[in-house]
């Protein structure tokens, strides 16, 4: 007798989990909006990489301190930039550098949802037919 409500609750939990996980994954990907090195170099702004993050400083025609746009400045940035991060870095932050490129599509979300529905249907059948 206890098995039916348990399996219904478990099925519902799995369905909600998959939908929430898929949606959260999609939203978090959009929120981080990381950039690849190819995107950095193609951007019209003068962007620099510092410790895995991208910062905007200067212009393509007048790069900051004469450093080429798109380079990683981690090894030679002056230490005083770190003494006032809000002034030197935070206001120029653009995005993190993408470590791997993955694309979450609507098809991925449909697939996750279909898997959850299949689990729900299987559990419902098992409940109804005693398997």
Q: What's the pLDDT score for residue 123?
A: 60
| E strand residue ranges, 9-122 | 47-50, 53-56, 93-96
- Of all residues in the chain, the percent with pLDDT exceeding 70 is 72
Contacts of 50 (CB under 8 A, 6+ apart): 72, 73, 74, 77, 89
Tell me if 46 is assigned to some domain: yes
The larger pLDDT score, comparing residue 7 to residue 2, is at 7
CA torsion, points 55, 59, 61, 64, in degrees to nearest 10? -60
Tell me if 13 is assigned to some domain: no
Give the total number of structural domains in the chain.
Answer: 1
List alpha helices for 33-92, DSSP H. 37-42, 80-83, 85-88
Residue (of 59, 55, 47) closest to 81 by Cα position: 55
Structural domain boundaries, residue 85: 33-122
Residue (of 117, 57, 43) closest to 91 by Cα position: 57
We report the CATH number of the domain holding residue 39 as 3.10.120
Tell me if 15 is assigned to some domain: no
Q: What's the pLDDT score for residue 108?
A: 72
Tell me if 93 is assigned to some domain: yes
Tell me if 23 is assigned to some domain: no
pLDDT digits (tens, 9 = 90+) for 22-74: 665 554 444 458 999 899 999 999 999 999 999 999 999 999 999 999 999 99
**pTM for the whole thing?**
0.52
Q: What's the pLDDT score for residue 101?
A: 55
């Amino acid at each position: 007798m206890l098995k039916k409500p348990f399996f219904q609750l478990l099925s519902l939990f799995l369905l909600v989990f998959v939908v929430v996980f898929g949606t959260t994954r999609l939203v978090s990907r959009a929120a981080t909006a990381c950039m690849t090195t190819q995107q950095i170099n193609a951007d019209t702004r003068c962007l620099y990489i510092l410790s895995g993050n991208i910062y905007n400083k200067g212009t393509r025609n007048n790069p900051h301190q004469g450093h080429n746009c798109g380079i990683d400045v981690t090894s030679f940035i002056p230490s005083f930039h770190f003494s006032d991060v809000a002034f030197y870095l935070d206001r120029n932050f653009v995005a993190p550098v993408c470590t791997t490129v993955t694309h979450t599509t609507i098809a991925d979300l449909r697939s996750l949802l279909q898997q959850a529905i299949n689990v729900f249907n299987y559990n419902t059948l098992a409940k109804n037919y005693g398997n």
